[in-house]
Amino acid sequence: MFESGDVGEILVYSLILIGIAFGAFFPLAFIYSMLFGGLHQSKMFKQLLARERHVAALVGGDNIHTLSTPISLDKITQSSLVMTNITVGPSWWQLFLGGIKSIFGGNIQSFDKILAYGRSEVIQRLREQAIGDGWDEVINVRVETSMVMNKIKGGKQNKLGTLEFVAYGTGIR
Amino acid sequence: MEMMTSNIEHIPGFTITKSLGVATGSTVRAKHIGKDILAGLKNIVGGELKAYTELLMEARTEALGRMMMDAGQRGANAVVNVRFATSSVAGGAAELFAYGTAVIVTEG
């Protein structure tokens, strides 16, 4: 059985351990982000490219466009709004680099990558959704970007740097 | 009858006979604090934040539904030229807004 002194000691030790775990987690996560963030994002890009090629082979070109009139379809029997979205955020390392870059100004390359990914991905999702819902073509496609889920409190804006992309158009068949 | 929607100036295969003004629908969503912390942790290597993607899609679908309801109350059977707008209101909340022109269309 524990005596009162032992219980106090255990409590103190466990508190110290929790403190160490929390203190070590953030630097470790940051290093992990630095080492594997780029690798993870390259993998995402590769998968996206493969999906784009798959759809291109399937429909023989592209099934979405920004014109307000159909290109390949002669007679339209049905139409409806089609929309899709994605929310992306930069890695901790990219966010850190972006923070440093914003002091000097100029092109923030670390953000370029994730923005390019988000936009390509949302357009690709629209293509896949159009195929899934059975639309032959999606016309008048629009892509919008917005910064959502901002944190305005305490003068610290958008802590996570999250961006939302929306793509929508009119599906026809 | 189901409400028809499009983001072009007409409904293909139909003719607009009457305009009933602008139909609007909006919703404000705030995130769950637990989800927020989890999203921050998941984002160590960057990429998609699935929780937010789903939350915003759900909210946008609701805004679109409200817009259709508004159009229905005006007596319309279609909404043309639908647009979306997103804005950040008050820390951590997003407003999703859908609007379009409520119209009556007839086949032909």
CB B65 within 8 A of CB B3: no
DSSP states of B16-49 as a string? EEEEEEEEEEEEEEE--HHHHHHHHHHGGG-EE-
Per-residue pLDDT of B75-89, as tens digits, reads: 999 999 999 998 877
Half-sphere CA count of A18, side-chain side, radius 13 A: 6
Q: Which residues of A touch B100 (CB under 8 A)?
A: none
Number of domains in chain A: 1
pLDDT of residue A59: 87
Sign of the dihedral defined by the CA atoms of residues A73, A77, A81, A87, in that order? negative
Closest partner residue to A76 among B9, B12, B43, by Cβ? B12
Average confidence score pLDDT of chain A: 85
Tokens standing for A166?
């929306």
pLDDT of residue B73: 94
Residue B47 sits at the chain A interface (C-beta within 8 Å): yes
With a cut of 70, list the residues of chain B below it in pLDDT: 1, 90-92
Query: Strands B4-5 and B78-89: what pairing?
Result: parallel
Domain that holds residue A82: 4-172
Q: Do B8 and A37 touch (CB under 8 A)?
A: no
A167 min Cα distance to partner chain B (Å): 10
CATH of the domain at A45: 3.30.110.70
Can you list the domains of chain B with their CATH numbers? 4-30+56-107 (3.30.110.70)
- What whole-number percentage of chain B has pLDDT above 90? 55
The ipTM, to two decimals, is 0.88
CB B100 within 8 A of CB B76: no
Per-residue pLDDT of A8-43, as tens digits, reads: 888 888 998 888 888 888 888 888 888 888 899 999
Q: Do B86 and A121 touch (CB under 8 A)?
A: no
pTM of the model: 0.84
